[in-house]
Amino acid sequence: MSLFTQEGFDAFVKSLPGTSFVDQWDSHVAKVGEKVFTLLSGAGDQARVVVKCTEESFEILTALDGIGQAPYFAKRKWVEIQATAPLSQDEVSHYLTRSYQLVAGGLTKKLRQELGIILPENR
């Protein structure tokens, strides 16, 4: 199931603890602890997923066709991945998961515990 469809996107995101959805900015936005970690906009070949990433991943990803700095996200380290980008579904799911971990890592330990979030030791 494609992560660039709402059905596939929702199914994957729902598998991550403490997530919720809201429709805003003409997009389908996923949050953890009320903080945005990814969004899906557009449809078909025009579909795009936005994720937070590390500085190293930002440099690597934005060198690829179909991936660039996410518009309207003022800070670097947010990329927009187009459905036509040369990434496999496994790679896109990796970056979605990593975005979740980066944002969830910024939540308080108490909130992470309340939401049932367990992060890898070496974030």
Q: Which residues contact 29 (CB under 8 A, 6 or more apart)?
A: 21, 22, 23, 36, 38, 39
Q: What angle do CA 24, 27, 28 make, to 5 degrees?
A: 90
> Where in the chain are the domains?
6-115
Instruction: Name the CATH topology of 6-115.
Output: Aspartate Aminotransferase, domain 1 (3.90.1150)
Max Cα–Cα distance, the chain, nearest Å: 40
> Which SS3 state, helix, strand or coil, does residue 92 take?
helix
Q: What angle do CA 5, 40, 75 make, to 5 degrees?
A: 155
The amino acid occupying position 8 is G
Q: Does residue 75 carry a pLDDT above 90?
A: no
For residue 120, the model assigns a pLDDT of 84
Q: What's the mean pLDDT in 95-123? A: 90
Q: What's the mean pLDDT in 92-101? A: 97
Q: What's the mean pLDDT in 104-113? A: 94
pLDDT digits (tens, 9 = 90+) for 11-35: 999 999 999 999 998 999 999 999 9
Report the alpha-carbon distance of residue 93 to residue 117 in Å, rounded: 18
